[in-house]
Structures are given as structure tokens and as C-alpha cells.
């Protein structure tokens, strides 16, 4: 029984005894258990929360995003449910938002908000720095068009935080491959820089693909990339990155590397300077021509 189950039902069915339930299983929520030692991921916790609701809630928010295949969902995050029972319960966020018949679907037998409705709820319920990384991952997993989510938002003009939701939805980009990439993109956009393109394919003069750049401005060949820890601790990865960097420089790209611990103001300054230098150089070339 690695999946969550309702303890009283298992005892009533004769599958386990009350003694075994206490000794061999761990309670996740009242009357909801898993085998001792089981580490539930976000999908497992979503199922546990739904069982706690008496199988009456609809799984929503971050929990729904996890069931749709979104990554980076904290396994310890509270389960998001839409449910009439608003009683407070540690580890569960119960919302009373209205649901239409087309706003949810079944996944693995569980009622889950659709990708578009999930996107709208995330944007309404969470601040931008929490919502957008999850929305990016949801968009990548489901190929939803954020514009469709913004259209859905128009169906709920009086919904709480709908203005904040529209702003968050306008920033979604399924090209982000990590929360740190989302953080970097938002940092640049909020600093007033032009919105960067993500996952820019770069080819050498022979037409061979040599890199996908995290984000940047292809017209002026300036990019920004977030380097994770593995780039410095994995020697093979480090060697590959060095060769990749040399090829990009040969093709005229300026790539700003952002590391953990870099100060936001410094990152913005470096990117601004690179864009300004490249724009100035292009302007000089055009005037010379």
C-alpha cells in the first residue's frame, strides 16, 4: 500500500487490522495512510488530500499542475483543493471557488482542474514569484497557450486577484527549463528590458546545432543563461560548456553567465551593458554602410 488509502475502509474490508494500521502505516491526513517509510511526491499528496475530502473535492492549483506533469512542485507543499468544506486542515489549502462542468477532468481516476483552469487558479492564488515558475512548467508539460488562459479569465471579471492573475499569465513562457531560468527572465523583464526569447537555437556555419540558449535577443546576439551547480562540479559538463562557449563567441554571441549568489542589480547591469554595447556596434556598422 504505497499509495494513500482510507484507513477505516481498509479495516472494514478486512485488508488490515487496526493494530497493523497503527504500527505499519503512517497517517498523512485524518484517516488517510500510506505504508511506513513512503515518501509521497506532489502527485501522491494530491491523492491523499482528495481522499481526506471524502472523495468530494476537485484537485487544483499546484497539486493539479503536478498531476498534469509539471515539474518543480514541492512535495511538501500544501495540497490545493476546491471543496465546499472549508474547515482548516494542516497541509491542505481548501478553496471555495466556483467550477464549471468544463473546468475539470479525470486523471488516474482523480477529478483535476483542466490545464487552463489550473493556470487561472495558480495566477489568482499565488504571487507572481510563486505562480509564474509553476505556470511555466505547466505550459511546458501541457502546451497550453497562456492567451487562452487570459481569455478564460474574462469569464470571471469579479474574481478576487483577477488583475494580478492577468499580469502573471502575460509573463508565462513554456521555454523555461528550471525555476531559476524563470527567475532570471522575470528579473530582466521587471527591470524594463525587452522580453527575451527563450530556448534560442544556434547553428554553426555548417548548419549544425551547437546550442540552445536559455534566453536572449537573437537580433543582437546577446543571451543570458543561469548556470546550475552541476556546471561547475561535473568535469565532463564543464569541459562541454567551455567548448560550447568558444563556439558561441566565434559566432558573435555575447553570453552573460548568471550564478547562484549573483546580486540581481549586478545581473541587470551586466545584461544592460551587453545590450548597449551590441546595439551601439550595430548602429555604427549601419551608419558606415
Q: At 154, is the pLDDT very low, low, confident or very high (cuts 50, 70, 90)?
A: confident
Burial (CB count within 10 angstroms: exposed 0-12, middle 13-18, buried 19+), residue 136: buried
Q: At 229, is the pLDDT very low, low, confident or very high (cuts 50, 70, 90)?
A: low
- Measured CA to CA in angstroms, residue 270 lies from 176, 263, 274 at distances of 21, 11, 6
Question: What is the average pLDDT score of the chain?
Answer: 91
pLDDT higher than 50, residue 286:
no
Q: At 98, is the pLDDT very low, low, confident or very high (cuts 50, 70, 90)?
A: confident
Q: At 153, is the pLDDT very low, low, confident or very high (cuts 50, 70, 90)?
A: confident
> How far is residue 177's CA from residue 190's CA, in Å, rounded to a whole number?
20
Residue 220 confidence (pLDDT):
94
Residue 201 confidence (pLDDT):
96
Q: Is this prediction's pTM over 0.85?
A: yes
Please name which of 112, 102, 90, 85 lies closest in space to residue 30, comparing C-alpha atoms: 90
Q: What is the pLDDT of residues 77-87, one digit of tens each?
A: 999 999 987 77
Residue 81 confidence (pLDDT):
97
Half-sphere exposure of 7 (CA within 13 A, CB side): 19
| Mean pLDDT within 232-250 | 77
> How far is residue 23's CA from residue 60's CA, in Å, rounded to a whole number?
32
> How far is residue 226's CA from residue 156's CA, in Å, rounded to a whole number?
37
Q: What is the pLDDT of residues 208-222, one digit of tens each?
A: 999 999 999 999 999
Residue 231 confidence (pLDDT):
52
Q: What is the pLDDT of residues 11-51, one digit of tens each?
A: 999 999 999 999 999 999 999 999 999 999 999 999 999 99
Could you give all domains of the chain from N- to C-terminal order, each with its CATH number?
Answer: 59-65+74-173 (no CATH), 180-288 (3.40.960)
Q: With contact defined as beta carbons under 8 Å apart, do 48 and 90 qualify? A: no
pLDDT higher than 60, residue 109:
yes
Amino acid at each position: 500500500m504505497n499509495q494513500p488509502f482510507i484507513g477505516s475502509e481498509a479495516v472494514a474490508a478486512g485488508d488490515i487490522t487496526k493494530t497493523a494500521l497503527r504500527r505499519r502505516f503512517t497517517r498523512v491526513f485524518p484517516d488517510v495512510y500510506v505504508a511506513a517509510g513512503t515518501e509521497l511526491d506532489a502527485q501522491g499528496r494530491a491523492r491523499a488530500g482528495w481522499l481526506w475530502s471524502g472523495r468530494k473535492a476537485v484537485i487544483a492549483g499546484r497539486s493539479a499542475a503536478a498531476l498534469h506533469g509539471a515539474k518543480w512542485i514541492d512535495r511538501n507543499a500544501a495540497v490545493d483543493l476546491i471543496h465546499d468544506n472549508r474547515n482548516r486542515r494542516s497541509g491542505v489549502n481548501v478553496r471555495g471557488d466556483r467550477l464549471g462542468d468544463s473546468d475539470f477532468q479525470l486523471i488516474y481516476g482523480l477529478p483535476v482542474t483542466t490545464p487552463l483552469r489550473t493556470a487561472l487558479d495558480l495566477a489568482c492564488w499565488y504571487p507572481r514569484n510563486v505562480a509564474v515558475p509553476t505556470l511555466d512548467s505547466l505550459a511546458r508539460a501541457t502546451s497550453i497557450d497562456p492567451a487562452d488562459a487570459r481569455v478564460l479569465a474574462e469569464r470571471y471579471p469579479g474574481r478576487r486577484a483577477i488583475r494580478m492573475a492577468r499580469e502573471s499569465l502575460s509573463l508565462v513562457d513554456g521555454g523555461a527549463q528550471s525555476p531559476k531560468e524563470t527567475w532570471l527572465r522575470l528579473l530582466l523583464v521587471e527591470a524594463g528590458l525587452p522580453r527575451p526569447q527563450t530556448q534560442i537555437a544556434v547553428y554553426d556555419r555548417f548548419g549544425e546545432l551547437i546550442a540552445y540558449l536559455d534566453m536572449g535577443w537573437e537580433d543582437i546576439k546577446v543571451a543570458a543563461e543561469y548556470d546550475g551547480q552541476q556546471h561547475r562540479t561535473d568535469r565532463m559538463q564543464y569541459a562541454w560548456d567551455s567548448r560550447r562557449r568558444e563556439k558561441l563567441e566565434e559566432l558573435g554571441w555575447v553570453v552573460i553567465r548568471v550564478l547562484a549568489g549573483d546580486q540581481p542589480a549586478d545581473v541587470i547591469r551586466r545584461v544592460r551593458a551587453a545590450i548597449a554595447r551590441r546595439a551601439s556596434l550595430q548602429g555604427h556598422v549601419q551608419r558606415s554602410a
